Chains A and B, each alone.
Chain A
């Protein structure tokens, strides 16, 4: 069973006046452990597609299935709860809660899920060490570099073992070195933890590291290529 499956997915803005097909009839599947990059020119619908898959937005038509659940049919409150338990998010910016430390941010979702404190501590500390933040655990986001902040966000998304992690341009605000570093970490966690990643980018060098590249143009799926195939 695919982790993510969309069927004839549409997101149309201003359907009654001058329709904008932000997502235009996309049917696509993503399997467990895939490390997929969504690319395309600005305005091609990358963010819109990820938002639909992440249950942040609802489609005009079509279906979105995550781990067998039809999230397009859920109520808003059901979707919030579903996101909490099944989907990890990394955003371009404003990922972290400014008043919490790196550790507290990374532990935030597991805490919302009501996991036992001990389990949280072990899991979050291990992951923070893995991403090289063992010395920054008690720093507030404002004291962290952009790359460090994104790594905390990745740990937060990953810690609760979601079905997959969605990242909309996670490297867009980072310098090249930090961007590669983040990508390496994501790739390693993808391999070690078996977690599915779906992220979007503009950056060709980032694209080169993806296992699968989905190209959008004007809201439609133009190419879907897998490395080594």
Chain B
């Protein structure tokens, strides 16, 4: 008890110095937490965007299609399978697609795009695609040769809604087929390179050109709950025994790197802050020990044991660091929570953000694991920084220390 009182009062002997350390620790933690949370927020928004708007949680393909992307490498079943899967309780939404590589041509431009035959309603339920439309209409209504292309591509091709364009591709027997489409709508997904490389038409219409029946190349499934993914994957595997069923991280292994690199950034920030903290504490505590040489000599002379002396210095270091840390962590968490709720609007830089595939408004967040680990690491850092000053204090010999 006495030691706690002494150590707490001791840190206030040099008010300015202790306050400076505390404020530095506090600001360091707020800045560190917030920047980690920004990076996490940007990366997670990228991650969710990608999963929810593009690849979905699970995809089903003919295993050969994954390798060769030949038109005939389909999964049979079509509409019936889609209805079955979409009705499973674990499934939030599902859709099927046909896919083919094609040449797209207007009067002034020729280029390659991947042409998707989609089922407009289920596609929209799964990827919420129609929200990207910025001009024209989604795939509805009668004209079955409607096509949606990216705004970026439209600009390159110098076409508009209502323009007529021709796409050329191979059918399932490897015959070259040309089909004319009318641009029904333009989309802007926020990710320019993607917008330039894909186009969407009706599944049935594309299939009729490809010579396929109700078959599909790809089924995309969105789960209700990320924790169910593995069991859902198994269920799909037994429903499609000859097909390859893959989760998002198998489809795009790079996405896992996004998640882990977000963590890595956070840990690098944390390590830098901890190095600063350790040096600050070490320096301050060494000064405190040197300033109090005679007093420490007196304490040892009158019978204060080494264990208690060590504890005194450790407690002082802990008080010094934890006071600032607790305030810093609370402020930092508060700031992250607040900005995580209202979001940070970087529309001013929206061009850059689009290139990165990030929404201009993003929400800083920190993982629960990271939030829990910070206080522990702060504590360990403080304890480690206490050791050297404490040993210095113990190494004093009372006779000499008293004479100083």
Tell me the A residues contacting B by CB distance below 8 Å: 51, 54, 56-57, 77, 80-81, 83-85, 87, 89, 91, 94-95, 97-100, 104, 108-109, 111-112, 156-157
A51 touches B303 (CB 8 A): no
A77 touches B399 (CB 8 A): no
Contacts of B301 in A (CB 8 A): 54, 56, 83, 89, 91
Contacts of A91 in B (CB 8 A): 298, 301, 402
Given contacts A77-B305, A85-B303, A94-B295, contact A99 B2 (CB under 8 A): no
| Minimal beta-carbon separation of B401 from chain A (angstroms) | 9
Q: Map CB proximity to A onto B370-383 as digits: 1 under 8 Å, 0 otherwise.
A: 00000000000000
Given contacts A57-B399, A104-B2, contact A81 B305 (CB under 8 A): yes
Contacts of A83 in B (CB 8 A): 301-303
A99 touches B6 (CB 8 A): yes
Contacts of B5 in A (CB 8 A): 99-100, 104
Contacts of B303 in A (CB 8 A): 80-81, 83-85, 87, 109, 112
Most chain A beta-carbon contacts within 10 A, residue among B294, B299, B301: B301
Interface residues of B in 1-52 (CB under 8 A from A): 2, 5-6, 9-10, 13
B13 touches A98 (CB 8 A): yes
Query: Is chain B's interface secondary structure helix, strand, loop, or mixed overall?
Result: helix
Tell me the nearest residue of chain B to A90, going by C-beta.
B302
Cβ-defined partner of B302 (8 Å) among A51, A98, A109: A109
Show 19 residue pairs from A and B whose CB-CB distance is below 8 angstroms, ordered by the A residue. A56-B402, A57-B399, A80-B300, A80-B303, A83-B303, A84-B302, A89-B301, A89-B302, A91-B402, A94-B402, A95-B298, A97-B295, A98-B295, A99-B6, A99-B13, A108-B302, A109-B303, A111-B2, A156-B302
Cα A4 to Cα B302 in complex, Å, equals: 18
Most chain A beta-carbon contacts within 10 A, residue among B5, B302, B304, B306: B302
A112 touches B9 (CB 8 A): no
Tell yes or no: B308 within 8 A of A by CB.
yes
| Minimal beta-carbon separation of B37 from chain A (angstroms) | 39
Cα A91 to Cα B298 in complex, Å, equals: 8
Contacts of B2 in A (CB 8 A): 100, 104, 108, 111-112
Cα A81 to Cα B307 in complex, Å, equals: 11
Cα A89 to Cα B295 in complex, Å, equals: 14
Cβ-defined partner of A56 (8 Å) among B299, B305, B399: B399
A99 touches B9 (CB 8 A): yes
Tell me the nearest residue of chain A to B12, going by C-beta.
A99
Tell yes or no: B112 within 8 A of A by CB.
no
A91-B301, A98-B13 given; name 13 further pairs at CB < 8 Å: A56-B402, A77-B306, A80-B300, A84-B304, A91-B298, A94-B295, A97-B295, A97-B299, A99-B9, A104-B2, A108-B2, A109-B303, A112-B2
Contacts of A51 in B (CB 8 A): 399
Cα A99 to Cα B299 in complex, Å, equals: 13
| Minimal beta-carbon separation of B390 from chain A (angstroms) | 16
Tell yes or no: B398 within 8 A of A by CB.
yes
Contacts of B308 in A (CB 8 A): 112
Contacts of A156 in B (CB 8 A): 302
Tell me the nearest residue of chain A to B404, going by C-beta.
A94
Given contacts A56-B398, A91-B298, contact A80 B6 (CB under 8 A): no
Contacts of A98 in B (CB 8 A): 13, 295
Tell me the nearest residue of chain B to A86, going by C-beta.
B303
| Minimal beta-carbon separation of A5 from chain B (angstroms) | 21
Cα A56 to Cα B297 in complex, Å, equals: 10
Given contacts A57-B399, A108-B2, A112-B304, contact A94 B298 (CB under 8 A): yes
Contacts of B398 in A (CB 8 A): 56
Cα A117 to Cα B213 in complex, Å, equals: 92
Most chain A beta-carbon contacts within 10 A, residue among B294, B305, B306, B399: B399
| Minimal beta-carbon separation of B392 from chain A (angstroms) | 16
Q: Map CB proximity to A onto B49-67 as digits: 1 under 8 Å, 0 otherwise.
A: 0000000000000000000
Tell me the nearest residue of chain A to B6, going by C-beta.
A99
Contacts of A112 in B (CB 8 A): 2, 303-305, 308
Tell me the nearest residue of chain B to A88, going by C-beta.
B302
Contacts of A157 in B (CB 8 A): 302
Contacts of B302 in A (CB 8 A): 83-84, 89, 108-109, 156-157
Contacts of A54 in B (CB 8 A): 301
Contacts of A95 in B (CB 8 A): 298
A100 touches B294 (CB 8 A): no
Contacts of B402 in A (CB 8 A): 56, 91, 94
Cα A108 to Cα B398 in complex, Å, equals: 18
Most chain A beta-carbon contacts within 10 A, residue among B6, B303, B305: B303
B6 touches A97 (CB 8 A): yes
Cα A97 to Cα B298 in complex, Å, equals: 9
| Minimal beta-carbon separation of A204 from chain B (angstroms) | 25
| Minimal beta-carbon separation of A57 from chain B (angstroms) | 5
| Minimal beta-carbon separation of B225 from chain A (angstroms) | 57
Cα A109 to Cα B301 in complex, Å, equals: 11
| Minimal beta-carbon separation of A124 from chain B (angstroms) | 13
| Minimal beta-carbon separation of B274 from chain A (angstroms) | 29
Cα A104 to Cα B2 in complex, Å, equals: 9
